[in-house]
Amino acid sequence: MSKLIQNGTIITASETFKADILIEGERIAAIGQNLHAPNAEWIDADRKLILPGGVDPHTHFDLPMFGTVSSDDHYTGHKAAAFGGTTTVIDFINQDFDSLKECVDAWHAKADDKAAIDYSFHMNIVNFNDDVAKQFPDLLEEGITSLKVFSAYNGVLRLDDEGIFNVLRTAAKYGMLTLLHAENGDVIETLVADALKAGNTSTEWHALTRPSWGAGEAILRVAGMAQAADASLYIVHMNTEIGADMLKYSRERGIKIMGETCPQYLFFTIDNMRQSDGAKWVCSPPMRSKEDNARLWQAVERGEMQVMGTDHCPFFFDGATPIVYEGEEIAIPGKELGKDDFTKIPNGLPAVGDRLPVMWTEGVVSGRMSANEFVAMNSTNPAKIFGMYPRKGALLPGSDADIVIWDPEKKVTHGVAHSHQRTDYNLFEGWELTGYPEKVFLRGEMIVDGDEWLGKKGGGEFLKRKEGEVL
């Protein structure tokens, strides 16, 4: 059945205007003034804003770590994303097999029957040789056009510089984008060993053993490799002042590099990790200082940062105490695993359902960014960079009807109840927010109506992506 959204104000990455939107099936059929569709279902968006569904390019669902697993799977995490106004996510595939196709198939087995919004995958490359390089075209056939490498996690995920450079060169050959987790693994391993030897096992040492200059030098070092390889590079979850400076420095010198930060790095610091519940804030890379918060905000405000992701990877704070989720009790071992040793705290936190509501209040309402810049960072830019535009991240005839009707006046005391993330805490618990999703559509079907969940397992589609843009 056709749907006609009337009387709303459309917000895109570049424009703000009053118009109606006609949906036919899964796509936007027309946008204009006073559209006439007598047989369509009519949806009134008076005094509301109409945004493209959010695109979160950095999520981890059902991810094994430290003897447990992230508490959101590809259903619960997708549901949380939808309640927060996000309709597309990209997850990361572990390189657990010699065959990259087997790795992809294993992640499809996790996701396909559970997916509640549209989704795609990045491929982690943690082992690289000529045989792996020959398999990159297999990823393209699967619609996977982005690879992730690590300069940290020695002996587990890290590639040496030769490996990273050759991934960059091979990715460039096939028009693929390389993502980088930028920290210095050698420095981290040395400092962690020193901390444990000295008996420094409290939570704050997770940050103290991962110095910010390690991120800065890794960004600049790999940016230099990208320049030599004529490759595109995307830095994930940027958390430091020096990192933002190195991103700006590299872009000003013509390197094809882009940056992503996350809400947690704009608001929280190492002092949160010093609290009695500090394990809630443990993620990698870690929270830093107020000076880092300020410089990252500056990068956002000046357009030096291209994307707002989340690095959503939640764990229970107290995995021994069940919560009720969709009427059933569930408990998954979590942060308590590291109560006596920071190196055993599962690294990650919930954010996929918080990103848009929090950033609207703290970014748009506060005057730090325009509504158009909000749409660009949270939807349009990631869709363009990761080869989904204009199907995703756009309100255009022919685009998927992934639409959020946003109530700019709605006031919410945010927290666990609103975020719908399957864990027992929320970093933004008690925050007073102004502006919240009212209705969310996925390819023309309403999946969120206020507090009501209308989506379903298996309702999401896998997106085969094309080569993206360098912004």
Please answer whether residues 403 and 51 qualify as being in contact, where contact means their C-beta atoms are separated by less than 8 angstroms: yes
pLDDT band for position 255 (cuts 50, 70, 90):
very high
SS3 387: coil
137-150: pLDDT as tens digits: 999 999 999 999 99
Which distant-in-sequence residues (6+ apart) come within 8 Å of 38 by Cβ?
none
How many other C-beta atoms are found inside a 10 Å radius of the C-beta of residue 467?
14
d(CA 457, CA 250): 43
Query: Looking at domain 54-385, which CATH architecture does it have?
Result: Alpha-Beta Barrel (3.20)
Express the helix, strand and coil content of the chain in percent, nearest 5 each.
30, 25, 40
E strands, 323-442, are 323-325, 328-330, 403-413, 432-442
Give tens-digit pLDDT for 3-34.
999 999 999 999 999 999 999 999 999 999 99
How far is residue 111's CA from residue 61's CA, in Å, rounded to a whole number? Answer: 9
The mean pLDDT of 35-43, rounded to a whole number, is 94
Each residue's pLDDT tens digit, 193-247: 999 999 999 999 999 999 999 999 999 999 999 999 999 999 999 999 999 999 9
Q: What is the phi/psi pair of residue 169, to 5°?
A: -65, -45
The residue written with tokens 């996690």 in the block is 153
The alpha-carbon radius of gyration of the chain (Å, integer) is: 21
Residue ranges of the chain that CATH labels 2.30.40.10:
3-51+395-410+431-453
Domain 3-51+395-410+431-453 sits in CATH at 2.30.40.10
- Indicate the average pLDDT of the chain: 98
pLDDT digits (tens, 9 = 90+) for 281-312: 999 999 999 999 999 999 999 999 999 999 99
Coil vs helix vs strand at 18: strand
Sequence-separated (6 or more) residues with CB below 8 Å from residue 118: 87, 88, 89, 392, 400, 402, 442, 443, 460, 461, 462, 463
Tell me where in the chain the CATH 3.20.20.140 domain(s) lie. Answer: 54-385
